[in-house]
């Protein structure tokens, strides 16, 4: 009988190192409505308009984090 090289429950990954991805790009803004196009070049995406309801909002395309400046007024929007 051959013995498997995989542990009994090979789907569990506790204790295994995880790949380190680049940090989230955090952008402080002064308006509750912002446009995101993912930046120039091949990593960009179609321009989307995002409304920051609370204190921050992630772009659904590129995961940039838009953080509303605490000094911005409650009605700062265009």
The reply to whether the predicted model has a pTM over 0.75 is no
Asked if the model's pLDDT at residue 12 lies above 80, the reply is: no
* Structural domain includes residue 13: no
User: Mean per-residue pLDDT for 55-74?
Assistant: 91
Confidence category of residue 44, pLDDT binned at 50, 70, 90 = confident
Close Cβ partners of 3 (under 8 Å, ≥ 6 residues apart):
none
φ, ψ for residue 27, nearest 5 deg: -120, 120
Give the mean model confidence (pLDDT) for residues 65-71.
94
Residue 10 resides in a domain: no
Whether residue 16 lies inside any domain: the answer is no
Position 46 confidence tier, pLDDT thresholds 50, 70, 90? very high
Q: How many domains does the structure of the chain reveal?
A: 1
Contact by Cβ (8 Å): 62, 21: no
Domain that holds residue 42: 26-68
Residue 14 lies in a domain: no
Q: Is 43 among the domain residues?
A: yes
């Amino acid at each position: 009988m051959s013995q498997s090289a995989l542990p009994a429950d090979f789907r569990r990954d506790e204790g295994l190192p995880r790949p380190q991805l680049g940090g989230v790009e955090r952008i402080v803004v002064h308006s509750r409505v912002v446009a995101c196009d993912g930046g120039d070049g091949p990593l960009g995406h179609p321009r989307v308009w995002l409304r920051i309801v609370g204190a921050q909002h992630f772009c659904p395309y590129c995961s940039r984090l838009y953080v509303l400046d605490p000094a911005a007024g409650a009605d700062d929007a265009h």
